[in-house]
Chains A and B, each alone.
Chain A
Amino acid sequence: DAKTTQPPSMDCAEGRAANLPCNHSTISGNEYVYWYRQIHSQGPQYIIHGLKNNETNEMASLIITEDRKSSTLILPHATLRDTAVYYCIVRATATNDYKLSFGAGTTVTVRA
Chain B
Amino acid sequence: DTEVTQTPKHLVMGMTNKKSLKCEQHMGHRAMYWYKQKAKKPPELMFVYSYEKLSINESVPSRFSPECPNSSLLNLHLHALQPEDSALYLCASSQIRDSYNSPLHFGNGTRLTVT
Contacts from B to A (Cβ < 8 Å)? 2, 4, 31, 33, 42-45, 48, 50, 55-56, 90, 92, 94, 96, 99-101, 103-109
A43 to B108, Cβ gap below 8 A? yes
B100 to A101, Cβ gap below 8 A? no
B100 to A99, Cβ gap below 8 A? no
Given known pairs A99-B48, A103-B42, the reply for A44 and B100 (CB within 8 Å) is no
Chain A interfacial residues counted at CB < 8 A: 25
Q: Which chain A residues numbered 83 to 101 have a C-beta less than 8 Å away from chain B?
A: 87, 91-93, 96, 98-101
- Whole-angstrom distance between the alpha carbons of A103 and B44 in the complex? 9
- Whole-angstrom distance between the alpha carbons of A92 and B56 in the complex? 14
A24-44 contact mask (Cβ, 8 Å, vs B): 1 or 0? 000000111010000001111
> Per DSSP, are chain A's interface residues mostly helix, strand or loop, or mixed?
loop
In the assembled complex, the CB of A104 is this many whole angstroms from the nearest CB of chain B, namely: 6
Given known pairs A32-B100, A98-B48, the reply for A43 and B90 (CB within 8 Å) is yes
